[in-house]
């Protein structure tokens, strides 16, 4: 039986916390901590479970010594970081100092420069190795499940993988003209970066959202999908070294794109501070304060997400085309957890990754990406814990986009 410390109490945390509480055969104690203790306490009251002991605490996870103090107070077996990517490094450093397993769901970022690369976290490999504990990076859906999907395909259906196209489609509607499905600041930083994909050992860069393809997706229908950069491109290229091309596509509606364009044009998506009435403000952080809290979208969002990978390559000299994906219903996710599908599809894999690490099924010492462990137990748990996946060998595109 294990004790988990969850840092963060937002949209993704709310699902991870509930799934951890449901998995009381693995976890019997949980601490929930963030800067807003009242929100953490609300989760404790809401769970009200006699199967798992849950307490709330305060932490400002920007400061390593605070996290060290919190870990030494509670002695968790693992820290599940579902705060923001800004807190990854301080929390990782605290886990090294206290010899505690670590997990996150998104690549580390710094506040004053949009962008991310795994190198900033991979440099901690030796320190985690010396501490004898695991840091599991990117245990959400994308990154996370998309990497596990790819390794499952490699293990069972391919000798060599040539191409991976990751498709993240949201067929949900929350009724707002403009809102983001997870933390607005992190989401807008990601979307407004230049598009980038991996090809033959290097990266091809394109203007943001400048390449669109239409995919015909199960239970969602045709979706306009835009090429973006995403962190699992970097880890997949590293751990599937023969791969020739990896692309990531996300769906956006026209209203979202029009609002985003206007906001960008007037400077509201900038991360550079400006002086306003004698006070420095960051436009994107101000915008975040105006937008709906993603945690509040649950009751309003109807429709489904469809996230998966089209993988092409060879087995025994024959060409293979394979598609693996999950469809998640926003309303079903809300009924079970009070959250929409984006939070659900991230919070469930966070719990699964944590369970596999504390059970020693995913075992090691060092910093690991999802690609480095056996995909089978994770795939099994996806079916068991609410994210069933489907596979087929049919194309899912209206046209085949090979450029």
Chain residues binding ligand NDP by CB under 6 A are: 7-13, 34-36, 39, 59-62, 82-85, 87, 105-106, 140-144, 182-183, 186, 294-295, 342, 346
Closest distance of CB 186 from ligand NDP, Å: 4
DSSP state, 397? Answer: B
Closest distance of CB 116 from ligand NDP, Å: 10
For every residue of 32-54, which 3-state class applies, written as one string? EEECCHHHHHHHHHHHCCCCCEE
| Whether the Cβ atoms of residue 173 and residue 254 lie closer than 8 Å to each other | no
Specify the residue, 8 or 366, whose C-beta has the smaller distance to ligand NDP: 8
Give the sign of the dihedral formed by CA 271, CA 273, CA 274, CA 276.
Answer: positive
Packing angle, helices 11-22 and 37-47, rounded to 10: 30
Specify the residue, 10 or 313, whose C-beta has the smaller distance to ligand NDP: 10
Closest distance of CB 231 from ligand NDP, Å: 9
Specify the residue, 12 or 246, whose C-beta has the smaller distance to ligand NDP: 12
Specify the residue, 59 or 387, whose C-beta has the smaller distance to ligand NDP: 59
* CA end-to-end span of the chain: 50
Specify the residue, 313 or 353, whose C-beta has the smaller distance to ligand NDP: 353
| Whether the Cβ atoms of residue 387 and residue 348 lie closer than 8 Å to each other | yes
H/E stretch holding 327: strand 318-329
User: What is the C-alpha to C-alpha distance for residues 249 and 242, in angstroms, rounded to an integer?
Assistant: 21
Closest distance of CB 31 from ligand NDP, Å: 13
User: What is the C-alpha to C-alpha distance for residues 277 and 12, in angstroms, rounded to an integer?
Assistant: 35
With H, G, I as helix, E, B as strand and everything else as coil, classify residue 347.
helix
Closest CA to 8 of 61, 74, 77: 61
Closest CA to 33 of 54, 15, 62, 6: 6
Residue nearest to ligand NDP (CB): 10
H/E stretch holding 189: helix 184-191
Closest distance of CB 91 from ligand NDP, Å: 9
Closest distance of CB 119 from ligand NDP, Å: 18
Backbone torsions φ then ψ of 399, nearest 5 degrees: -120, 160
Specify the residue, 22 or 34, whose C-beta has the smaller distance to ligand NDP: 34
Closest CA to 387 of 345, 332, 337, 336: 345
In this structure, what is the dihedral angle of CA atoms 124, 126, 131, 133, given to the nearest 10 degrees?
70
Specify the residue, 80 or 320, whose C-beta has the smaller distance to ligand NDP: 80
Closest distance of CB 314 from ligand NDP, Å: 29
| Whether the Cβ atoms of residue 165 and residue 324 lie closer than 8 Å to each other | no
Specify the residue, 311 or 387, whose C-beta has the smaller distance to ligand NDP: 387
Closest distance of CB 16 from ligand NDP, Å: 9
Closest distance of CB 237 from ligand NDP, Å: 18
Q: How far is CA 261 from CA 224, 258, 371, in A?
A: 17, 5, 35
Closest distance of CB 181 from ligand NDP, Å: 7
Closest distance of CB 232 from ligand NDP, Å: 9
User: What is the C-alpha to C-alpha distance for residues 59 and 8, in angstroms, rounded to an integer?
Assistant: 9
With H, G, I as helix, E, B as strand and everything else as coil, classify residue 92.
helix
Specify the residue, 121 or 312, whose C-beta has the smaller distance to ligand NDP: 121
Specify the residue, 35 or 238, whose C-beta has the smaller distance to ligand NDP: 35
Specify the residue, 86 or 157, whose C-beta has the smaller distance to ligand NDP: 86
For 94, the token pair is: 């605290």
């Amino acid at each position: 039986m294990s004790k988990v410390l969850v840092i963060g109490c937002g949209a993704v945390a709310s699902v991870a916390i509930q799934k951890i509480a449901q998995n009381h055969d693995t976890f019997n104690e949980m601490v929930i901590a963030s800067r807003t203790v009242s929100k953490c306490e609300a989760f404790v009251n809401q769970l009200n479970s006699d199967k798992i002991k849950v307490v709330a605490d305060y932490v400002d996870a920007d400061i390593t010594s605070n996290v060290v103090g919190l870990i030494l107070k509670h002695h968790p077996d693992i820290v599940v970081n579902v705060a923001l990517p800004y807190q990854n490094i301080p929390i990782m450093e605290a886990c090294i100092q206290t010899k505690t397993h670590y997990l996150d769901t998104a690549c580390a970022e710094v506040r004053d420069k949009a962008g991310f690369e795994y190198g900033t976290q991979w440099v901690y490999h030796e320190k985690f190795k010396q501490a004898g504990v695991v840091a599991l990076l990117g245990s959400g859906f994308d990154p996370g499940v998309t990497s596990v999907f790819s390794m499952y395909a490699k293990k069972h259906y391919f000798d060599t993988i040539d191409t991976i196209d990751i498709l993240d489609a949201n067929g949900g509607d929350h009724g707002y003209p403009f809102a983001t499905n997870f933390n607005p600041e992190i989401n807008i930083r990601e979307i407004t970066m230049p598009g980038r994909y991996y090809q033959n050992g290097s990266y091809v860069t394109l203007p943001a959202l400048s390449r669109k393809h239409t995919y015909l997706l199960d239970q969602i229908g045709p979706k306009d999908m835009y090429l973006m950069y995403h962190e699992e491109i970097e880890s997949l290229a590293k751990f599937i070294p023969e791969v020739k091309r990896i692309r990531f596509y996300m769906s956006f509606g026209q209203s979202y794109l029009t609002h985003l364009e206007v906001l960008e044009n007037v400077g509201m998506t900038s991360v550079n501070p400006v002086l306003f009435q004698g006070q420095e403000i960051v436009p994107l952080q101000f915008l975040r304060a105006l937008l709906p809290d993603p945690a509040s979208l649950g009751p309003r969002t109807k429709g489904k997400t469809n996230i998966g990978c089209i993988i092409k390559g060879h087995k025994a000299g024959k060409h293979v085309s394979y598609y693996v994906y999950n469809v998640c219903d926003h309303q079903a996710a809300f009924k079970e957890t009070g959250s929409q599908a984006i939070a659900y599809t991230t919070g469930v894999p966070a719990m699964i990754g944590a369970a596999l690490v504390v059970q020693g099924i995913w075992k090691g010492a060092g910093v690991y990406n999802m690609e480095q462990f056996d995909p089978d137990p994770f795939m099994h748990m996806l079916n068991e814990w609410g994210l069933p996946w489907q596979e087929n060998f049919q194309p899912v595109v209206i046209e085949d986009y090979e450029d």
